[in-house]
Structure 1
């Protein structure tokens, strides 16, 4: 009987595996013994309770957990310790395949695997959105672009999840293969099965039944740019418009204080990490996604699948699905007036919201999970040839 092959999945923090990598792992489990390596202790954008639940889920699938203290700060000394531990892990286990995600983990993984690649180990890197892109700050290009370009030579397959990154990687990077997949996959069947009593859900969240609910989902950090929406709603001076944000992060107090300073603290709800995002989407009226950078944006795609019109920024992977006047509206990330104008117009136009909702349910189908899993499965199979 042949011994089962070994695969390692590496991310900087464990919540990335939970939110974005389990489809890949489900495919790998058919042919590999799977291990994961990530920081399960700090830096995660979900709750400690969820991380503990996730650990148990991995153990129940016979997936070996390796705690590696990666730090999202590329200059942190702890990443040197993490590199040494990761290199030792790779050498001791003699993996056949390593699939890495997120910039820090992917950088350290590819460095640690340089010598073993000469012995046949395959290394895949999924870039969930390069930090350098059209309109990105110059510092991002100076810091991240040279590193990614250099490390591409130590990558057997570089997977990109938006068209801008794919075209740039094909032209500029020297990975053995560059592939495009439409994100990590949206489970439309699962989303469609969720039924919700809209009034009851709003009551549970403390929201008025007749309020106009604007929703955002994402970590409370500078990149997600929730501030622009708070300022946009404040300009409207309409007490019937509420802003609900699902997510946790370092800007929680800042956003709460900003809402108070602008006099709309009673209209802004910071709900923290939630497990009922689909129910909240189906109880809302509009989804706003104002990020400065997004590899694609699974939160927006899930909102679209729930029949919500979207107002988004005009950057990076978001433009793969966000079309001005069709799926919703598009604004520059810093344009408060633009977000304010379009929130107001959709508040006043139920017919337009309904039309965009139907458009979005169709648009999102190309990001459905079955097609994505087929592509990933074929990429894994191609490494054996």
Structure 2
């Protein structure tokens, strides 16, 4: 079968990183695919070097009929059988390009849907695609209960996957970069600051004074860019740290492309989130043998089997978060045991090979 992946952006994000991993491993796992992108971004070079055919288009309008025409030509000339998209804007262009043909469309649902326009588009697309892929049971329930998007029989849960090979790091450590001794205890969170109620770095900040008071050689890092409109969230975190005189032990590193380097230096990974589709950053930590402390939202309970493979704390509860982190810091054996068990679990269920295996089954089922 020949599959076309259609992306609207190539900026570094969970969807785009997943698709790069898919492209790099598709051939070895029996998938023949290509990528078309209607926008650029900092991962464009990665896609071009990913061993699959890559075509760059330009979308100038919300619904661009010129893009639709070009896609239709690509589909015909490359004998595409399935078009796989990840967002509403890509989905509507794929739907129009495939209309009246035998080509099947697949739409993946990755997480938070903020605006009314995208929700209306998804409401139109859900019953019209050959298959909807949702990345967790928790996200499906959120769709149905919070934004009233109902799925029919054309839906399948497929967890995202991570390429472990991408997470290998052999260079300088983050501790070395920051001028910290190798024996300090470093923990942190990798997540952007968003306008919408999604990530929750402030709860981590509120947990820091108690942690630092009990663990004098502990330091914390926050990695992630600040989205336009979310500047106040970053400012509130930085102000809290200054006010509590802990800013000399907290590093705000901004957006980074070297996630493997960061994970390699972490003793604990913290993911404080209010809403998540699955949590690719947590999976990356598990697959790097870093023990995780996660908020108790449903997708995180799924990927940790209700706390079997991670420490869990109630959403926005800084007191219990600090207790969970301190429990791990004070017991190295517990940290290593939790990390080892989580690594094995994640390898079996959330590797890129497991993801591609399920995708291939899905594609076969709709042809």
**TM-score, with length taken from structure 1:** 0.76
Q: 2:96 aligns with which of 100, 112, 117?
A: 112
Q: Which residue pairs with 1:9 in the alignment?
A: 6
Matched, 1:89 2:65: no
SS of the counterpart of 1:216? strand
Q: Distance in 2 between matches of 1:189 and 1:12?
A: 24
Q: Which residue pairs with 1:156 in the alignment?
A: 130
SS of the counterpart of 2:308? coil
Q: Which residue pairs with 1:44 in the alignment?
A: none
Cα–Cα, structure 1 residues 61 and 326, in superposed 2: closer, same or farther, change >3 Å? Answer: closer
Q: 2:209 aligns with which of 205, 214, 234?
A: 234
Q: Which residue pairs with 2:164 in the alignment?
A: 188
Q: 2:45 aligns with which of 38, 43, 53?
A: 53
Q: Distance in 1 between matches of 2:49 and 2:301?
A: 35
Cα–Cα, structure 1 residues 67 and 242, in superposed 2: closer, same or farther, change >3 Å? Answer: farther
Q: Distance in 2 between matches of 1:38 and 1:237?
A: 47
Q: Which has the higher contact order (CA 8 A, sep 6+)?
A: 2
Alignment of 1:101-250 (within 5 A): 101-106=86-91, 108-109=92-93, 112-113=96-97, 116-129=98-111, 131=113, 148-165=122-139, 172-174=150-152, 177-183=154-160, 185-188=161-164, 191=167, 194-195=169-170, 201-222=174-195, 223-238=198-213, 239-250=216-227
Q: Distance in 2 between matches of 1:55 and 1:357?
A: 31
1:233, distance to aligned residue in structure 2 (A):
0.6
Q: Distance in 2 between matches of 1:323 and 1:8?
A: 31
Q: CA RMSD in A?
A: 3.4
Cα–Cα, structure 1 residues 111 and 260, in superposed 2: closer, same or farther, change >3 Å? Answer: farther
Q: Which residue pairs with 1:316 in the alignment?
A: 298
Cα–Cα, structure 1 residues 86 and 141, in superposed 2: closer, same or farther, change >3 Å? Answer: closer
Q: Which residue pairs with 1:37 in the alignment?
A: 37
Q: Which has the larger displacement, 281-290 or 241-250?
A: 241-250
Flag structure 1 segments of 5+ consecutive residues without an equivalent: 42-49, 70-78, 132-139
Q: Distance in 1 between matches of 2:33 and 2:356?
A: 19
1:303, distance to aligned residue in structure 2 (A):
0.8
1:322, distance to aligned residue in structure 2 (A):
2.4
Cα–Cα, structure 1 residues 324 and 23, in superposed 2: closer, same or farther, change >3 Å? Answer: closer
1:169, distance to aligned residue in structure 2 (A):
8.0
Q: Which residue pairs with 2:56 in the alignment?
A: 65
Flag structure 2 segments of 5+ consecutive residues without an equivalent: none
1:347, distance to aligned residue in structure 2 (A):
2.1
Q: 2:254 aligns with which of 237, 262, 272?
A: 272
Contact conserved, 1:34 with 1:63, CA < 8 A, in 2? yes
Contact conserved, 2:191 with 2:223, CA < 8 A, in 1? yes
Cα–Cα, structure 1 residues 7 and 188, in superposed 2: closer, same or farther, change >3 Å? Answer: closer
Q: 1:99 aligns with which of 71, 84, 97?
A: 84
